[in-house]
Amino acid sequence: MIQTLVPLPVQAAARPQGRWGKIFGYALTPRALLLLAGGCLLAVPGFFYAKWIWTMFAWDALVLLLAAYEAATLPAPAAIQIERSFDNSPVLGEPLTIRVEVTQSSNTILDIRITDALHPALIPMPATKRVAAYPRDPARATIGCTPNTRGDIALGKVFLRYRGPFRLIERWAAADLEQNVRVYPPMERSPEDTALYLLRIRQIALQKRRLRLRGTGREFESLREYQRGDELRNIAWPATARRGKVITREFTTERSQQVWVVLDAGRLSRTAFELQPSPQRVDAGSATIPQQLFSDTRLTVTQLDQASGTAFALAQTVMQAGDKAALLVYGRGIQQQLLPASGPGHLRQFVDSLSQVRAESAEANHLGAAARLKNLQRRRGLILWITELADSARRPEVVDAAVDLARRHLVLLVILIHPELDRLSSREPANVEEMFISTAATEILERRRETVMRLRAQGVLVIETTPGAMKTDAINQYLEIKARGQL
Each residue's pLDDT tens digit, 384-424 = 999 988 776 677 889 999 999 999 999 999 988 877 766 77
Please report whether residue 188 resides in a domain.
no
Residue-level pLDDT at 235: 82
Please check whether residue 288 lies inside any domain of the structure. yes
* Residue 402, in any domain of the structure: yes
Which one of 143, 168, 183 terminates a domain?
A: 183
Q: Is residue 200 part of a domain?
A: no
Regions of the chain short of the pLDDT cut 70:
1-4, 46, 188-221, 251-255, 275-298, 392-393, 421-422
**Residue 208 falls within a domain, yes or no?**
no
Same domain, 239 and 362: no
User: How many residues comprise the chain?
Assistant: 487
Helical H runs in 244-323? 303-320
Domain match, 467 and 378 both: yes
Residue 299 lies in a domain: yes
Burial of 129 (0-12, 13-18, 19+ CB in 10 A): middle
The b-or-e profile of 235-268 (16+ CB within 10 A means b, else e) is ebeeebeeeeeebbbebbbbeebbbbbbbbbbbb
Residues 237 and 337 reside in one and the same domain? no
Domain limit, last residue, from 227, 252, 277: 252
241 and 264 share one domain: no
Q: Are residues 367 and 314 in the same domain?
A: yes
User: Which stretches of 321-426 are DSSP H helices?
Assistant: 344-355, 366-376, 397-406, 419-426
* pLDDT score recorded for residue 207: 53
Separation of alpha carbons 459 and 308, rounded Å: 26
pLDDT at 5: 83
pLDDT at residue number 198: 55
Question: Judging by DSSP bridges, how do beta strands 461-465 and 410-416 pair with one another?
Answer: parallel
Q: Out of 252, 269, 302, pick the residue that ends a domain.
A: 252
Domain that holds residue 71: 2-183
The pLDDT, as a whole number, for residue 476 is 87
In a domain, 190, yes or no: no
- 58 and 90 both lie in a single domain: yes
The CATH number given to whatever domain includes residue 459 is 3.40.50.410
3-state SS, one letter per residue, for 165-179: CCCCEEEEEEECCCE
Closest CA to 318 of 405, 376, 258: 258
Regarding whether 262 and 247 lie in a shared domain, the answer is no
The beta strand positions in 164-313, using DSSP E, are 169-175, 179-183, 214-225, 247-252, 258-264, 272-275, 282-284, 287-289, 299-302
Q: Are residues 271 and 244 in the same domain?
A: no
In a shared domain, residues 480 and 368: yes
Instruction: Give the total number of structural domains in the chain.
Output: 3
Report whether 165 contacts 132 (CB < 8 A). no
One domain, residues 158 and 269: no
Query: Could you give the count of Cα atoms lying within 13 Å of 24 in the half-sphere of its Cβ?
Result: 3
pLDDT of residue 286: 39
In a domain, residue 48? The reply is yes
Q: What span, in angstroms and rounded, lies between the C-alpha atoms of 197 and 41?
A: 76
Each residue of 187-228: pLDDT tens digit? 765 555 555 555 555 555 555 544 444 444 555 567 888 887
CATH number of the domain at 61, please: 2.60.40.10
Q: Within this chain, do residues 380 and 425 fall inside the same structural domain, yes or no?
A: yes
Indicate if 422 and 476 belong to the same structural domain.
yes
What secondary structure letter does DSSP report for 234? Answer: G
CA distance 211 to 201: 15
Cα 248 off chain centre by: 51
